[in-house]
Amino acid sequence: EDQVTQSPEALRLQEGESSSLNCSYTVSGLRGLFWYRQDPGKGPEFLFTLYSAGEEKEKERLKATLTKKESFLHITAPKPEDSATYLCAVQGKNYGQNFVFGPGTRLSVLP
């Protein structure tokens, strides 16, 4: 069964304090690993797709990387508006088109 875990569960940063979020996964043949951002009371919003180990994607202050067992979401010089829950999801080759989500990391960036 495909599984996704994320750490830490919650993270508080000062504005400008860079850090990384971790997503560890087990999947029967990875089709893709996805990062989403979710604001309170809203639906998740797509950030990145990573397909193979070694791949990296960047968007503003966010950079996602992928290895064979985990992915990192690096946040450089975060701002308060980056506060949100960040969700990681995987799609395996043996489970139809389902996306399995991790529990998320709740990020708070303090001014």
> Which residues contact other proteins (rule: CB under 8 A)?
31-32, 34, 36, 41-46, 49, 51, 87, 89, 91, 95-104
Give me the least distance between CB of 95 and other proteins, in Å please.
7
SS3 for the chain is CCEEEEECCEEEEECCCCEEEEEEEECCCEEEEEEEEECCCCCCEEEEEECCCCCEEEECCEEEEECCCEEEEEECCCCHHHCEEEEEEEEECCCCCCCEECCCEEEEEEC
Minimum CB separation from other proteins for residue 82, in Å? 19
Smallest distance, other proteins to C-beta of residue 87, A: 7
**Residue 88 Cβ vs other proteins, minimum distance, rounded to whole Å:** 10
CB nearer to other proteins: give 44 or 78: 44
Closest by CA to 74, choosing from 33, 34, 20, 37, is: 20
Nearer to other proteins, 16 or 29 (CB): 29
